[in-house]
A and B are shown apart, each in its own frame.
Chain A
């Protein structure tokens, strides 16, 4: 849940990047961190293992400017993708306002995307949140691999697998080149802020 400070007129919004291991969640945040330096007041915090895998979360605070006189502070988090870390994934989802589900477009990851999305659904339920109600954007990442001859799933297939019931905004993207990383971010911020705006006086 977003926290609204009426005294200092600050709204804190929590957005979580969720998806299977190695789909590119951390890479999304790293790109945002480089590209939007002037809107980011502090360093990106990454809790990772020796092998550079996310252990707990990445955290990046992002200033959105003002809406209705309120300073909007977006807090971007990623979850650890590895299967064994579901307990920590759940902790990161606590109080979430919006989710970006990052899918891995590589053919061999098809099952893992579906399983991860199902788990997101369950994890949200454990906080009495619904995946059908929470602001959500889906990103089909790594589409640049097509040019390198790596077999990737057609977007129509990814859509059918992941977005046929949810029907949320979705983007093809390449976190590594930055393609549609900002578009994904803008979309989830606007969906989330719209749902929070109703609470502002």
Chain B
């Protein structure tokens, strides 16, 4: 496994997918992180100002915790991880065993619509990512 280094070309392809599939819809910010809390890439609508590094560390911890809880109650995983707020929402989705896609979006987008697009984006990202594994 060699996911520690991603080529510039692959990152550009992934960024394009994130922009066309999610940012264009009105998602405020999309981050791909690994389970160790590293940021693979982050895209936003140019307005949001999140501290993405702290966010990634907390998100990885959050996801790992929920995953461990799933195992404790005998589930392979909880497939939907979603936090809902007044103004903004956070949606987590697993790309593969190492990668997570996190979307932050406001109240103008419905969860169902977002999920649909996340699923499509993830399929495309997987194709790009596969090329990275040795």
Could you tell me which A residues sit within 8 Å of B by CB distance?
1-7, 12, 14, 41-43, 45, 47, 56-57, 59, 61, 73, 75, 77, 87-88, 91-92, 94-96, 199
Residues of B within 8 A of A5 (CB): 6, 11, 39-41
From B34, B41, B58, B68, contact of A59 by CB (8 A): B58
Asked if B73 is at the interface of the complex by the 8 Å CB criterion, the answer is: no
**Known pairs A45-B54, A59-B54, A91-B65; A7 contacts B38 (CB<8 A):** no
Q: How far is the CA of A57 from the CA of B61 in the complex (A)?
A: 9
Residues of A within 8 A of B114 (CB): none
Residues of B within 8 A of A2 (CB): 4, 38
Are A199's CB and B5's CB within 8 A? yes
From A6, A73, A91, contact of B61 by CB (8 A): A91
Min CB–CB distance B95 → chain A (angstroms): 15
Residues of B within 8 A of A47 (CB): 61
**Known pairs A3-B34, A42-B51; A12 contacts B39 (CB<8 A):** yes
| A-B contact sample (7 more), CB < 8 A, given A7-B12, A42-B53, A75-B37 | A2-B4, A12-B39, A14-B38, A57-B57, A73-B53, A95-B35, A199-B5
Residues of A within 8 A of B65 (CB): 56, 88, 91
Residues of A within 8 A of B37 (CB): 14, 75, 95
Asked if B134 is at the interface of the complex by the 8 Å CB criterion, the answer is: no
Are B53's CB and A3's CB within 8 A? no
Min CB–CB distance B46 → chain A (angstroms): 17
Could you tell me which B residues sit within 8 Å of A by CB distance?
3-8, 11-12, 34-41, 51, 53-54, 57-58, 60-61, 64-65, 68
Min CB–CB distance B132 → chain A (angstroms): 12
Are B39's CB and A3's CB within 8 A? yes
Ranked 9 nearest A-B pairs via Cβ = A95-B36, A3-B38, A7-B8, A7-B11, A59-B57, A91-B64, A42-B51, A61-B53, A12-B38
Are B36's CB and A14's CB within 8 A? yes
Min CB–CB distance A128 → chain B (angstroms): 11
Are B4's CB and A4's CB within 8 A? yes
What residue in chain B is nearest A14 (Cβ atoms)?
B36
Min CB–CB distance B5 → chain A (angstroms): 5
Residues of B within 8 A of A43 (CB): 51, 54
Q: How far is the CA of A102 from the CA of B45 in the complex (A)?
A: 42
Q: How far is the CA of A14 from the CA of B53 in the complex (A)?
A: 12
Min CB–CB distance B2 → chain A (angstroms): 10
What residue in chain A is nearest B51 (Cβ atoms)?
A42
Q: How far is the CA of A78 from the CA of B9 in the complex (A)?
A: 35
From B4, B53, B60, B68, contact of A199 by CB (8 A): B4
What residue in chain A is nearest B15 (Cβ atoms)?
A7
Are A1's CB and B35's CB within 8 A? no
Min CB–CB distance B62 → chain A (angstroms): 9
Q: How far is the CA of A27 from the CA of B39 in the complex (A)?
A: 26
Residues of A within 8 A of B3 (CB): 1
